Structure 1
Protein backbone atom coordinates (compact mmCIF):
# COMPACT_ATOMS: atom_id res chain seq x y z
CA UNK A 1 0.00 0.00 0.00
CA UNK A 2 1.20 3.53 -0.76
CA UNK A 3 0.56 6.95 0.74
CA UNK A 4 1.43 10.46 -0.35
CA UNK A 5 1.70 13.49 1.91
CA UNK A 6 1.27 16.87 0.23
CA UNK A 7 2.79 19.48 2.52
CA UNK A 8 1.13 22.81 1.72
CA UNK A 9 3.46 25.01 3.75
CA UNK A 10 4.35 28.41 2.29
CA UNK A 11 8.05 27.77 3.03
CA UNK A 12 10.30 26.43 0.29
CA UNK A 13 12.92 23.82 1.10
CA UNK A 14 15.20 23.71 3.00
CA UNK A 15 13.38 26.01 5.43
CA UNK A 16 11.97 24.18 8.44
CA UNK A 17 8.25 23.48 8.12
CA UNK A 18 6.16 23.10 11.27
CA UNK A 19 3.47 21.47 9.14
CA UNK A 20 5.92 18.86 7.86
CA UNK A 21 7.06 18.10 11.39
CA UNK A 22 3.49 17.37 12.52
CA UNK A 23 2.84 15.25 9.42
CA UNK A 24 5.83 13.05 10.30
CA UNK A 25 4.09 11.10 13.13
CA UNK A 26 1.25 10.29 10.71
CA UNK A 27 3.74 9.07 8.11
CA UNK A 28 5.57 7.05 10.77
CA UNK A 29 2.31 5.44 11.89
CA UNK A 30 1.56 4.43 8.30
CA UNK A 31 5.09 3.10 7.76
CA UNK A 32 4.70 0.98 10.90
CA UNK A 33 1.86 -0.77 9.07
CA UNK A 34 4.01 -1.41 6.00
CA UNK A 35 2.76 1.52 3.95
CA UNK A 36 5.28 3.16 1.58
CA UNK A 37 5.04 6.91 2.24
CA UNK A 38 6.35 9.74 0.07
CA UNK A 39 6.18 13.42 1.00
CA UNK A 40 6.13 16.37 -1.38
CA UNK A 41 6.45 20.02 -0.40
CA UNK A 42 4.15 21.50 -3.05
CA UNK A 43 5.72 24.97 -2.99
CA UNK A 44 8.96 23.41 -4.29
CA UNK A 45 7.13 22.60 -7.55
CA UNK A 46 5.94 24.99 -10.24
CA UNK A 47 2.17 24.57 -9.89
CA UNK A 48 0.29 27.34 -11.69
CA UNK A 49 -3.36 28.09 -10.89
CA UNK A 50 -6.04 26.23 -12.80
CA UNK A 51 -8.46 23.34 -12.70
CA UNK A 52 -6.83 21.05 -15.24
CA UNK A 53 -4.45 18.15 -14.70
CA UNK A 54 -1.88 19.54 -17.13
CA UNK A 55 -1.62 23.29 -17.78
CA UNK A 56 1.11 22.84 -20.38
CA UNK A 57 4.79 23.72 -20.58
CA UNK A 58 6.48 24.19 -17.22
CA UNK A 59 3.57 22.83 -15.19
CA UNK A 60 4.89 20.38 -12.59
CA UNK A 61 1.50 19.43 -11.17
CA UNK A 62 1.34 16.30 -13.39
CA UNK A 63 4.20 14.80 -11.30
CA UNK A 64 2.14 15.26 -8.13
CA UNK A 65 -1.01 14.06 -9.89
CA UNK A 66 0.83 10.86 -10.81
CA UNK A 67 1.72 10.35 -7.15
CA UNK A 68 -1.96 10.73 -6.22
CA UNK A 69 -3.02 8.15 -8.80
CA UNK A 70 -0.37 5.69 -7.57
CA UNK A 71 -1.35 5.89 -3.90
CA UNK A 72 -4.27 4.59 -1.86
CA UNK A 73 -3.86 7.13 0.95
CA UNK A 74 -3.56 10.92 0.73
CA UNK A 75 -2.65 13.28 3.54
CA UNK A 76 -2.96 17.02 2.92
CA UNK A 77 -1.00 19.00 5.50
CA UNK A 78 -1.64 22.73 5.76
CA UNK A 79 -0.80 25.61 8.05
CA UNK A 80 -3.62 27.91 9.16
CA UNK A 81 -3.47 31.44 7.75
CA UNK A 82 -6.11 34.02 8.75
CA UNK A 83 -8.32 31.12 9.81
CA UNK A 84 -8.18 29.31 6.45
CA UNK A 85 -6.09 26.66 4.67
CA UNK A 86 -2.92 28.00 3.07
CA UNK A 87 -3.11 29.36 -0.47
CA UNK A 88 -0.98 26.37 -1.52
CA UNK A 89 -3.59 23.94 -0.11
CA UNK A 90 -6.32 25.80 -1.95
CA UNK A 91 -4.35 25.58 -5.18
CA UNK A 92 -3.84 21.83 -4.67
CA UNK A 93 -7.59 21.35 -4.25
CA UNK A 94 -8.28 23.43 -7.35
CA UNK A 95 -5.87 21.36 -9.42
CA UNK A 96 -7.38 18.17 -7.98
CA UNK A 97 -10.79 19.34 -9.21
CA UNK A 98 -9.93 17.80 -12.59
CA UNK A 99 -9.92 14.37 -10.93
CA UNK A 100 -13.70 14.53 -10.53
CA UNK A 101 -14.10 13.79 -14.24
CA UNK A 102 -11.12 11.39 -14.57
CA UNK A 103 -11.94 7.68 -14.64
CA UNK A 104 -10.03 4.41 -14.69
CA UNK A 105 -10.30 1.72 -17.36
CA UNK A 106 -13.59 0.50 -15.84
CA UNK A 107 -15.11 3.99 -15.88
CA UNK A 108 -14.81 4.51 -12.11
CA UNK A 109 -13.72 7.96 -10.88
CA UNK A 110 -10.00 7.78 -10.07
CA UNK A 111 -10.35 8.99 -6.46
CA UNK A 112 -12.91 6.33 -5.54
CA UNK A 113 -11.57 3.64 -3.18
CA UNK A 114 -8.85 6.05 -2.01
CA UNK A 115 -8.82 7.56 1.48
CA UNK A 116 -7.63 10.94 2.70
CA UNK A 117 -6.89 12.81 5.91
CA UNK A 118 -5.77 16.25 7.02
CA UNK A 119 -2.95 17.66 9.19
CA UNK A 120 -3.17 21.28 10.34
CA UNK A 121 -0.79 23.56 12.24
CA UNK A 122 -1.04 27.17 13.34
CA UNK A 123 -0.41 29.33 16.37
CA UNK A 124 -4.02 30.58 16.32
CA UNK A 125 -7.35 28.80 16.51
CA UNK A 126 -9.26 27.66 13.44
CA UNK A 127 -7.89 24.16 12.89
CA UNK A 128 -11.31 22.50 12.81
CA UNK A 129 -12.45 24.98 10.17
CA UNK A 130 -9.39 24.20 8.03
CA UNK A 131 -9.92 20.45 8.47
CA UNK A 132 -13.57 20.82 7.44
CA UNK A 133 -12.74 22.85 4.32
CA UNK A 134 -10.07 20.44 3.09
CA UNK A 135 -11.93 17.24 4.00
CA UNK A 136 -15.12 18.53 2.38
CA UNK A 137 -13.30 19.28 -0.86
CA UNK A 138 -11.60 15.87 -0.85
CA UNK A 139 -14.99 14.23 -0.39
CA UNK A 140 -16.31 16.14 -3.42
CA UNK A 141 -13.36 14.87 -5.46
CA UNK A 142 -14.25 11.30 -4.51
CA UNK A 143 -11.98 10.42 -1.59
CA UNK A 144 -13.33 8.53 1.41
CA UNK A 145 -12.66 10.36 4.67
CA UNK A 146 -12.50 7.95 7.64
CA UNK A 147 -13.63 9.00 11.08
CA UNK A 148 -10.95 10.98 12.96
CA UNK A 149 -8.64 11.13 9.96
CA UNK A 150 -7.00 14.31 11.14
CA UNK A 151 -4.62 15.76 13.65
CA UNK A 152 -3.76 19.35 14.44
CA UNK A 153 -1.78 21.62 16.68
CA UNK A 154 -2.35 25.23 17.70
CA UNK A 155 -1.92 27.52 20.68
CA UNK A 156 -5.53 28.70 20.79
CA UNK A 157 -6.80 32.19 19.98
CA UNK A 158 -4.38 35.02 19.45
CA UNK A 159 -0.74 35.10 18.35
CA UNK A 160 1.81 32.89 20.01
CA UNK A 161 4.71 30.51 19.49
CA UNK A 162 4.93 28.09 16.57
CA UNK A 163 4.86 24.29 16.83
CA UNK A 164 8.65 24.04 17.11
CA UNK A 165 8.88 26.78 19.73
CA UNK A 166 7.09 24.85 22.47
CA UNK A 167 6.22 21.33 23.61
CA UNK A 168 2.66 22.48 24.39
CA UNK A 169 0.11 20.02 23.03
CA UNK A 170 2.60 17.82 21.18
CA UNK A 171 1.67 14.67 23.10
CA UNK A 172 -2.01 15.04 22.19
CA UNK A 173 -1.25 15.90 18.56
CA UNK A 174 1.05 12.88 18.17
CA UNK A 175 -1.44 10.52 19.83
CA UNK A 176 -4.14 11.80 17.48
CA UNK A 177 -1.72 11.37 14.55
CA UNK A 178 -1.35 7.69 15.45
CA UNK A 179 -5.13 7.26 15.54
CA UNK A 180 -5.34 9.04 12.20
CA UNK A 181 -2.79 6.68 10.66
CA UNK A 182 -4.62 3.63 12.08
CA UNK A 183 -7.96 4.79 10.71
CA UNK A 184 -6.59 5.69 7.28
CA UNK A 185 -4.94 2.29 7.00
CA UNK A 186 -8.01 0.37 8.21
CA UNK A 187 -10.38 2.01 5.73
CA UNK A 188 -7.88 1.84 2.86
CA UNK A 189 -7.46 -1.87 3.56
CA UNK A 190 -11.23 -2.39 3.58
CA UNK A 191 -11.60 -0.54 0.27
CA UNK A 192 -8.86 -2.68 -1.28
CA UNK A 193 -10.98 -5.74 -0.45
CA UNK A 194 -14.26 -4.12 -1.50
CA UNK A 195 -13.56 -1.22 -3.87
CA UNK A 196 -16.15 1.36 -4.79
CA UNK A 197 -17.29 0.89 -8.37
Structure 2
Protein backbone atom coordinates (compact mmCIF):
# COMPACT_ATOMS: atom_id res chain seq x y z
CA UNK A 1 0.00 0.00 0.00
CA UNK A 2 1.19 3.53 -0.81
CA UNK A 3 0.59 6.90 0.82
CA UNK A 4 1.29 10.39 -0.48
CA UNK A 5 1.79 13.37 1.82
CA UNK A 6 1.42 16.72 0.08
CA UNK A 7 2.97 19.37 2.30
CA UNK A 8 1.41 22.77 1.57
CA UNK A 9 3.82 24.86 3.61
CA UNK A 10 4.77 28.26 2.23
CA UNK A 11 8.45 27.53 2.95
CA UNK A 12 10.63 26.27 0.12
CA UNK A 13 13.21 23.53 0.71
CA UNK A 14 15.52 23.27 2.53
CA UNK A 15 13.88 25.62 5.07
CA UNK A 16 12.52 23.57 8.01
CA UNK A 17 8.76 23.04 7.88
CA UNK A 18 6.67 22.69 11.04
CA UNK A 19 3.92 21.10 8.97
CA UNK A 20 6.31 18.52 7.54
CA UNK A 21 7.57 17.68 11.03
CA UNK A 22 4.09 16.79 12.31
CA UNK A 23 3.17 14.99 9.07
CA UNK A 24 6.26 12.84 9.57
CA UNK A 25 4.73 11.44 12.77
CA UNK A 26 1.82 10.16 10.67
CA UNK A 27 4.23 8.83 8.05
CA UNK A 28 6.23 6.92 10.63
CA UNK A 29 3.08 5.23 11.95
CA UNK A 30 1.98 4.32 8.43
CA UNK A 31 5.42 2.81 7.84
CA UNK A 32 4.78 0.51 10.82
CA UNK A 33 1.87 -0.86 8.76
CA UNK A 34 4.29 -1.46 5.85
CA UNK A 35 2.85 1.48 3.90
CA UNK A 36 5.33 3.12 1.52
CA UNK A 37 5.13 6.88 2.10
CA UNK A 38 6.16 9.58 -0.38
CA UNK A 39 6.44 13.27 0.50
CA UNK A 40 5.86 16.19 -1.89
CA UNK A 41 6.49 19.81 -0.89
CA UNK A 42 4.18 21.54 -3.33
CA UNK A 43 5.77 24.99 -3.05
CA UNK A 44 9.00 23.58 -4.52
CA UNK A 45 7.17 22.74 -7.76
CA UNK A 46 5.97 24.94 -10.59
CA UNK A 47 2.23 24.28 -10.21
CA UNK A 48 0.17 26.49 -12.47
CA UNK A 49 -3.22 27.82 -11.35
CA UNK A 50 -6.27 26.16 -12.83
CA UNK A 51 -8.57 23.16 -12.59
CA UNK A 52 -7.05 20.89 -15.24
CA UNK A 53 -4.68 17.95 -14.89
CA UNK A 54 -2.07 19.39 -17.27
CA UNK A 55 -1.91 23.06 -18.22
CA UNK A 56 1.29 22.61 -20.26
CA UNK A 57 4.18 25.07 -20.45
CA UNK A 58 6.36 23.47 -17.76
CA UNK A 59 3.51 22.79 -15.35
CA UNK A 60 4.72 20.20 -12.81
CA UNK A 61 1.29 19.19 -11.52
CA UNK A 62 0.99 16.13 -13.83
CA UNK A 63 3.76 14.42 -11.85
CA UNK A 64 1.85 14.99 -8.61
CA UNK A 65 -1.35 13.77 -10.27
CA UNK A 66 0.42 10.54 -11.21
CA UNK A 67 1.48 10.03 -7.60
CA UNK A 68 -2.09 10.68 -6.42
CA UNK A 69 -3.30 7.85 -8.66
CA UNK A 70 -0.60 5.51 -7.32
CA UNK A 71 -1.51 6.12 -3.65
CA UNK A 72 -4.35 4.55 -1.71
CA UNK A 73 -3.81 7.05 1.12
CA UNK A 74 -3.52 10.82 0.73
CA UNK A 75 -2.61 13.33 3.42
CA UNK A 76 -2.87 17.05 2.79
CA UNK A 77 -0.73 18.94 5.32
CA UNK A 78 -1.21 22.69 5.67
CA UNK A 79 -0.27 25.50 8.02
CA UNK A 80 -3.00 27.84 9.25
CA UNK A 81 -2.72 31.37 7.88
CA UNK A 82 -5.36 33.95 8.81
CA UNK A 83 -7.45 31.08 10.11
CA UNK A 84 -7.53 29.38 6.71
CA UNK A 85 -5.61 26.75 4.70
CA UNK A 86 -2.48 28.05 3.00
CA UNK A 87 -2.68 29.45 -0.53
CA UNK A 88 -0.59 26.46 -1.64
CA UNK A 89 -3.19 24.06 -0.22
CA UNK A 90 -5.93 25.92 -2.09
CA UNK A 91 -4.01 25.62 -5.35
CA UNK A 92 -3.44 21.90 -4.81
CA UNK A 93 -7.16 21.35 -4.17
CA UNK A 94 -8.09 23.40 -7.24
CA UNK A 95 -5.83 21.27 -9.43
CA UNK A 96 -7.32 18.13 -7.88
CA UNK A 97 -10.74 19.37 -9.00
CA UNK A 98 -9.97 17.84 -12.43
CA UNK A 99 -10.10 14.39 -10.82
CA UNK A 100 -13.86 14.76 -10.39
CA UNK A 101 -14.31 14.18 -14.13
CA UNK A 102 -11.73 11.38 -14.43
CA UNK A 103 -12.85 7.74 -14.15
CA UNK A 104 -11.16 4.36 -13.90
CA UNK A 105 -11.80 1.32 -16.10
CA UNK A 106 -14.98 0.58 -14.13
CA UNK A 107 -16.40 4.09 -14.60
CA UNK A 108 -15.71 5.07 -10.99
CA UNK A 109 -14.28 8.51 -10.14
CA UNK A 110 -10.53 8.01 -9.81
CA UNK A 111 -10.54 9.11 -6.15
CA UNK A 112 -12.97 6.34 -5.21
CA UNK A 113 -11.57 3.63 -2.95
CA UNK A 114 -8.86 5.98 -1.70
CA UNK A 115 -8.76 7.54 1.74
CA UNK A 116 -7.56 10.96 2.83
CA UNK A 117 -6.73 12.91 5.97
CA UNK A 118 -5.42 16.31 7.05
CA UNK A 119 -2.51 17.59 9.14
CA UNK A 120 -2.50 21.22 10.34
CA UNK A 121 0.02 23.33 12.25
CA UNK A 122 0.00 26.96 13.35
CA UNK A 123 0.51 29.19 16.36
CA UNK A 124 -3.03 30.57 16.07
CA UNK A 125 -6.46 29.02 16.33
CA UNK A 126 -8.38 27.88 13.25
CA UNK A 127 -7.20 24.27 12.92
CA UNK A 128 -10.70 22.77 12.91
CA UNK A 129 -11.77 25.22 10.23
CA UNK A 130 -8.78 24.26 8.06
CA UNK A 131 -9.48 20.55 8.61
CA UNK A 132 -13.14 20.95 7.65
CA UNK A 133 -12.36 22.96 4.49
CA UNK A 134 -9.76 20.49 3.22
CA UNK A 135 -11.71 17.38 4.26
CA UNK A 136 -14.85 18.70 2.58
CA UNK A 137 -12.99 19.36 -0.66
CA UNK A 138 -11.41 15.91 -0.64
CA UNK A 139 -14.79 14.28 -0.05
CA UNK A 140 -16.23 16.23 -3.00
CA UNK A 141 -13.42 14.90 -5.19
CA UNK A 142 -14.34 11.35 -4.16
CA UNK A 143 -12.00 10.42 -1.32
CA UNK A 144 -13.29 8.55 1.70
CA UNK A 145 -12.56 10.44 4.93
CA UNK A 146 -12.35 8.05 7.91
CA UNK A 147 -13.37 9.11 11.38
CA UNK A 148 -10.61 11.10 13.14
CA UNK A 149 -8.44 11.27 10.05
CA UNK A 150 -6.66 14.42 11.19
CA UNK A 151 -4.21 15.85 13.65
CA UNK A 152 -3.14 19.38 14.43
CA UNK A 153 -0.89 21.44 16.67
CA UNK A 154 -1.31 25.02 17.86
CA UNK A 155 -1.04 26.95 21.11
CA UNK A 156 -4.16 29.06 20.79
CA UNK A 157 -4.86 32.47 19.28
CA UNK A 158 -2.23 35.07 18.66
CA UNK A 159 1.50 34.91 17.92
CA UNK A 160 3.70 32.36 19.60
CA UNK A 161 6.39 29.74 19.08
CA UNK A 162 6.37 27.26 16.20
CA UNK A 163 5.86 23.52 16.50
CA UNK A 164 9.59 22.89 15.99
CA UNK A 165 10.41 25.32 18.83
CA UNK A 166 7.87 24.18 21.41
CA UNK A 167 7.23 20.89 23.24
CA UNK A 168 3.83 21.84 24.69
CA UNK A 169 0.95 20.07 23.03
CA UNK A 170 3.11 17.59 21.17
CA UNK A 171 2.02 14.51 23.12
CA UNK A 172 -1.61 15.03 22.16
CA UNK A 173 -0.77 15.90 18.56
CA UNK A 174 1.45 12.85 18.21
CA UNK A 175 -1.05 10.41 19.74
CA UNK A 176 -3.75 11.85 17.46
CA UNK A 177 -1.38 11.53 14.50
CA UNK A 178 -0.83 7.85 15.25
CA UNK A 179 -4.58 7.27 15.59
CA UNK A 180 -5.09 9.10 12.30
CA UNK A 181 -2.60 6.81 10.57
CA UNK A 182 -4.25 3.70 12.02
CA UNK A 183 -7.70 4.85 10.87
CA UNK A 184 -6.51 5.73 7.39
CA UNK A 185 -4.82 2.37 7.01
CA UNK A 186 -7.79 0.43 8.41
CA UNK A 187 -10.32 2.05 6.09
CA UNK A 188 -7.97 1.74 3.10
CA UNK A 189 -7.75 -1.98 3.82
CA UNK A 190 -11.54 -2.24 4.06
CA UNK A 191 -12.00 -0.46 0.72
CA UNK A 192 -9.41 -2.72 -0.90
CA UNK A 193 -11.34 -5.76 0.32
CA UNK A 194 -14.79 -4.35 -0.62
CA UNK A 195 -14.40 -1.58 -3.20
CA UNK A 196 -17.03 1.04 -3.84
CA UNK A 197 -18.90 0.62 -7.10
CA UNK A 198 -19.50 3.29 -9.72
CA UNK A 199 -22.22 5.78 -8.76
CA UNK A 200 -25.68 4.51 -9.71
TM-score under structure 1 length normalisation: 0.99
Tell me the distance in 2 between the aligned counterparts of 1:108 and 1:143.
12
Whether 1:25 aligns to 2:25 is yes
Moved more, 173-182 or 155-164: 155-164
CA deviation after TM superposition for structure 1 residue 105, in Å: 1.2
Spell out, residue by residue over 1:136-182, the C-alpha distance to the aligned partner (whole angstroms, 9 max, x if none): 00000000000000000001011111111110100100000000000
- Which residue of the partner structure matches residue 7 of structure 2? 7
Tell me the distance in 2 between the aligned counterparts of 1:162 and 1:10.
14
3-state DSSP of counterpart to 1:53: coil
- Which residue of the partner structure matches residue 159 of structure 2? 159
Tell me the distance in 2 between the aligned counterparts of 1:59 and 1:158.
37
Runs of 4+ in 1 over 3 A off after TM superposition: none
Spell out, residue by residue over 1:52-71, the C-alpha distance to the aligned partner (whole angstroms, 9 max, x if none): 00001200000000000000
3-state DSSP of counterpart to 2:68: helix
3-state DSSP of counterpart to 1:89: helix
TM-score under structure 2 length normalisation: 0.98
Alignment gaps of 5+ in structure 1: none
- Which residue of the partner structure matches residue 69 of structure 1? 69
The within-5 A match list for 1:29-68 is 29-68=29-68
Alignment gaps of 5+ in structure 2: none
Once superposed, what is the RMSD of the aligned Cα atoms?
Answer: 0.4
Tell me the distance in 1 between the aligned counterparts of 2:162 and 2:177.
18
3-state DSSP of counterpart to 1:79: strand
Q: How many residues align?
A: 197
- Which residue of the partner structure matches residue 193 of structure 1? 193
The within-5 A match list for 1:122-133 is 122-133=122-133
- Which residue of the partner structure matches residue 177 of structure 1? 177
Tell me the distance in 2 between the aligned counterparts of 1:31 and 1:175.
16
Tell me the distance in 1 between the aligned counterparts of 2:188 and 2:59.
30
